[in-house]
Amino acid sequence: MTLIVDTPRPPYYAVIFTSIRTETDDGYGEMADKMIELASRQPGFLGVESAREEVGITVSYWSSLESIKKWKENIEHREAQETGRERWYSSFKVRISKVERDYGI
């Protein structure tokens, strides 16, 4: 996985998932890998960046709000969300932002 996604020229959208994990691992890594692979096949997916220490932050990039909505409604993704609520996360927050400008080296 690329560490920093090469996104297109703005505008595009970022879904920011911030989480605190429970002590339970129970298939978490496999499910996370599966969700990234599944998301990468969704129309409008642009890439993902992730880091985990005490707080985990995963940012996925999308071409449109419609593509984000369709990803949220994906049945396999919905099942993973439910399992996350029940097993893997003690708390989490999802934020959706429009990227209007980006720059870097």
Mean pLDDT of 34-39: 96
Q: What is the pTM of this model?
A: 0.92
- CATH numbers and ranges of domains, the chain: 23-93 (3.30.70.100)
Largest CA distance in the chain: 40
**Predicted pLDDT at 105:** 85
Q: Mean pLDDT across the chain, nearest whole number?
A: 95
Q: 1 versus 44: which is more confidently predicted?
A: 44
For residue 32, the Cα-to-chain-centroid distance in whole angstroms is 9
